[in-house]
Structure 1
Amino acid sequence: MLSKAVSKYINSLQIKKYRNLHQTFVVEGAKSVRELLASDLEIEKLFITEDFLQKHTNLFRKSLEYELVTENQLVQAGTYESNNAGLAIARMKTLPKLAVKPTELVIALDDIRDPGNLGTIIRIADWYGIKKIICSETCADFYNPKVIASTMGSFTRVAAYYVNLPEFLSSFSGEFKIYGAAMEGENIHKLNLKPEGVLVMGNEANGLRPETRKFLTSLIKIPAFGNAESLNVATATAILTDNFFRQVS
């Protein structure tokens, strides 16, 4: 049974200040908990239903401790309206020093505020084998429960680095191609791209900041064939990223 103290602890981790204080975050739901169990992330506490245990016994390490709880207890403790699987408290991973190779493509996010968008972009990066994304300091928090849920487990394979984005881009000026998504950019369908360099996506409402734009080597866009005013930033990220990989067999 989940004690009041543990429930209070789980609830506190909805807030960034307490996540940073404890260096822990919450993972909920069958898919995300399965991915967590299969990863190298350290699990501090694990609460699961009997049904989840029976279905996924093979994922449980011998030394891993867990507590059996009911679906109702999971729902009361977490943020999901229904959860018949599990809830975990995991420890944040210490990331290696940020390094970008000239032969890799990384996604950089300039002030992406919506947790759902960030989580979806992390999932997109995982689909294309992109292991790291670069976030401006004003982006949504990687460990926000809504971000973790939206990644559908990809949070275990993709790292997010929070940096002063203009400074980060300036360090690669002249060395890497830095692409920025903008309505006035060049039609991406007419470009012969390789999955190399930095793809920068701007804020949901305002696009790329002026201080970020000055370090871009190219502006690119997705051509419109209908009358929609714009695309969701996560959708645009998926389309643009796919074009970088079109020539890869």
Structure 2
Amino acid sequence: MTKAEIQLVRSLADKRNRDREGLFAAEGEKLVGELRASHLRVRKIYALDGILPGPETTTVSEKEMERLSLLKTPNRALALVETPRHRLSADELGDRLTLALDEVQNPGNLGTIIRLADWFGIRDVVCSTDSADCFNPKVVQATMGAILRVRVHYVDLERFLSDARSSGIPVYGTFLEGENLYDTPLTPTGILLMGNEGRGVSEACARHVNRKLFIPPYPADRRATESLNVAMATGIACAEFRRRNR
């Protein structure tokens, strides 16, 4: 393993370098194995002796893996993967449930939401351009492999929601006030919009929401904490959509 290889891998911690190289790093023996068997193109694998042998694998020592790793705790394998590009338009979404994220910036939250989307059979997650990068190493790790199956798109979210609503696609959003999630009619298709960790859904995006949903505390008259974590709220809302329309 050369110094240039180490520099390349380490540089992928920065989004600008990921964009320039068209690569992202993924760590973990299980995840790298899934990547190698997926439709994504794995350019290089670095692994400890005996782990994931193959023509694209370079065997490295534990000390070298520590130098390569972009995580606090190095794994036994790391892959360089070509970044996939997906196209999406609002008129494609009329027959499915889609998640939209308005400036979700915490990598752990984004990774968990992508993992939730995979669990609930949601194929597409549409993000505002100021959301966290789904190929950030922490996001990739948090998805636990779901990044292979869920397509993540970065768009002008306000325009995207406007086009969707103009196409007759229902747009739901979660707010600190609105209709009770458990009493509101929910369609099996549409867009479910989740907001920023601190500010919630922006005013610009809120204008395109058909129905504002509120997740009530239990019991309903109890003084609740300020709000739910966005990933937790996403899981609750997705579960209710799927339960209602199974």
TM-score, length-normalised on structure 1?
0.91
Asked if residue 141 in structure 1 is aligned to residue 158 in structure 2, the reply is no
Q: Is the 8 A contact 1:98 1:161 kept in 2?
A: no
Q: In structure 1, how many angstroms separate the alpha carbons of the residues matched to 2:136 and 2:152?
A: 12
The alignment partner of 1:162 has SS state of strand
Asked if residue 179 in structure 1 is aligned to residue 178 in structure 2, the reply is no
* Count of matched residue pairs: 240
The alignment partner of 2:193 has SS state of strand
- The range that moved more, 66-75 or 200-209, is 66-75
The alignment partner of 1:220 has SS state of strand
Counterparts in 2 of 1:1-249, with a 5 A limit? Answer: 2-53=1-52, 64-99=55-90, 100-174=92-166, 175-225=168-218, 227-249=224-246
Q: In structure 1, how many angstroms separate the alpha carbons of the residues matched to 2:88 and 2:240?
A: 29
Q: Alpha-carbon deviation of 1:95? A: 1.6
Q: Alpha-carbon deviation of 1:70? A: 2.3
Q: Alpha-carbon deviation of 1:51? A: 4.1
The alignment partner of 1:173 has SS state of helix
Q: Alpha-carbon deviation of 1:65? A: 1.6
Q: Is the 8 A contact 2:88 2:153 kept in 1?
A: no
TM-score, length-normalised on structure 2?
0.92
The alignment partner of 2:79 has SS state of strand
Q: Which amino acid aligns with 2:208?
A: F
Q: Is the 8 A contact 2:40 2:82 kept in 1?
A: yes
Q: In structure 1, how many angstroms separate the alpha carbons of the residues matched to 2:33 and 2:25?
A: 13
Q: Alpha-carbon deviation of 1:221? A: 1.3
Q: State the superposition RMSD in angstroms.
A: 1.6
Structure 1 gap segments, 5+ residues each: none
After superposition, give the CA deviation of every residue in 1:125-182 in whole Å (9 maximum; x if it has no partner).
0111111110001101111111111111111111111111110011122401100110
Q: In structure 2, how many angstroms separate the alpha carbons of the residues matched to 1:235 and 1:131?
A: 19
Q: Is the 8 A contact 2:101 2:126 kept in 1?
A: yes
Identical residues among aligned pairs (%)? 38
The alignment partner of 2:109 has SS state of helix
Q: Alpha-carbon deviation of 1:69? A: 1.5
Q: Which amino acid aligns with 2:26?
A: V
Q: Alpha-carbon deviation of 1:74? A: 1.4
Q: Which amino acid aligns with 2:199?
A: N
The alignment partner of 1:129 has SS state of coil
The alignment partner of 2:208 has SS state of coil
Moved over 4 A (4+): none
Structure 2 gap segments, 5+ residues each: none
